[in-house]
């Protein structure tokens, strides 16, 4: 019996065509990960030492591994209270799209007014002369 007749879990596959299609999808996914087009899945994601140092410095109440389980929160915290040198490190390792995503998906309390306005203009999410949207806020009306 050939290898394509078995599923990943060790039993016999119900459909050789479906198994081959799934293997093709997975190999295409990992090819894109190796080329750098997609980030690796989080459970396999290794962060470089400069990013771990940022996580340790700006989210001091958690270990770097715990804080980097939510990388968007680390990005937002550095953007809010970090130095420009730390923000440059952040941009180098995560890129501007991740920084924009942190602003778009920000939760209440992640940003102060000053950094919110600065980064909205700096990353091009708000055009010059336009009023940036209000900060995300909590509501008691559920």
CA 99 to CA 73: how far, in whole Å?
10
Q: What DSSP designation does 46 have?
A: -
Residue range 82-101: mean pLDDT, rounded:
94
Residue pair 72/98 in contact by the 8 Å Cβ criterion: yes
* C-alpha distance across the termini of the chain, in Å: 59
Per-residue pLDDT tens digits for 35-86: 777 776 666 568 899 999 999 999 998 888 888 888 999 999 999 999 999 9
- Closest listed residue to residue 93, CA positions, set 43, 47, 57, 33: 47
Global pTM exceeds 0.85: no
């Amino acid at each position: 019996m050939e290898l394509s007749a078995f599923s990943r879990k060790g039993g016999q596959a119900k459909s050789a065509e479906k198994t081959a299609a799934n293997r093709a999808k997975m190999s295409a996914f990992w090819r894109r990960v190796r080329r750098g087009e997609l980030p690796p899945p989080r459970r396999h994601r290794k962060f470089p030492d400069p990013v771990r140092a940022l996580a340790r410095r700006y989210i001091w109440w958690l270990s770097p591994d715990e804080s980097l389980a939510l990388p968007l929160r680390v990005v937002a915290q550095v953007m809010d209270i970090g130095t420009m040198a730390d923000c440059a490190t952040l941009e180098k390792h995560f890129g501007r799209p991740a920084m924009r995503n942190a602003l778009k998906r920000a939760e209440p309390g992640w940003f102060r007014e000053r950094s919110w306005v600065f980064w909205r203009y700096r990353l091009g999410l708000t055009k010059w002369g336009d009023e940036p949207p209000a900060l995300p806020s909590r509501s008691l009306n559920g």
